[in-house]
Amino acid sequence: MMLTSGYELPFLFNLLFSLLAGLIIGAERESREKPAGIATHSLVIGGSMMFAFLSSLIDPSARIAAAIISGIGFLGAGVIIKGEHGTITNLTTAASVWFGCSIGIAIGYGLYFMALIGIIFAAAVPRIPSVSKEHSPFRKNGKGKKSAL
């Protein structure tokens, strides 16, 4: 029985990179008091990385990434909440978990630059100020017609 396979150091690096990604993206969500913070993102990214890493060693032609994404869909659906008045909340957090999964897959396959760009993207996009309905050039006026701007 072998105790080492030669893949331990790359695996450890990938796991630490996944943890860092989870810390960055999860901290952004926690700073806005949203569900699915550091722990959730770190586990999703780390788990996705492990599946992709192992897949690349065992059977590179396996469609593991597709299976990971399907499974994450269920997790994301659990984050989304429909309110009393039909309002939907936590959609951005669910998208963040889903996007985190893709970052984990990139790390698992050794695509570190792509993963880094994805981390920056995932942390920055939720910080873009949204345009309120009142100030949107696409808002409807009182007669149900879009205002011209």
Does any domain span residue 32? Answer: yes
In this prediction, residue 149 carries a pLDDT of: 45
pTM: 0.81
> In angstroms, how far apart are the furthest CA atoms of the chain?
76
Using DSSP's 3-state secondary structure scheme, residue 89 falls into strand
In this prediction, residue 147 carries a pLDDT of: 47
Does any domain span residue 141? Answer: no
Structural domain tally of the chain?
1
Distance (Å, whole) CA 38 – CA 29: 8
Does any domain span residue 61? Answer: yes
Does any domain span residue 145? Answer: no
Distance (Å, whole) CA 53 – CA 47: 10
DSSP 9: H
In this prediction, residue 7 carries a pLDDT of: 92
Which structural domain, as residue segments, surrounds residue 123?
A: 8-129
Q: What is the mean predicted confidence (pLDDT) over 18-45?
A: 95
Does any domain span residue 113? Answer: yes
Does any domain span residue 110? Answer: yes
Which of 112, 105, 40 is closest to 69 using CA atoms? 105
Does any domain span residue 14? Answer: yes
Per-residue tokens: 25: 């993206």
Does any domain span residue 134? Answer: no
pLDDT-above-70 percentage for the chain: 85
In this prediction, residue 41 carries a pLDDT of: 97
Q: Give residue 114's Cα distance to chain centre.
A: 14
Q: Write out pLDDT tens, residues 80-110.
A: 888 788 888 889 999 999 999 999 999 999 9
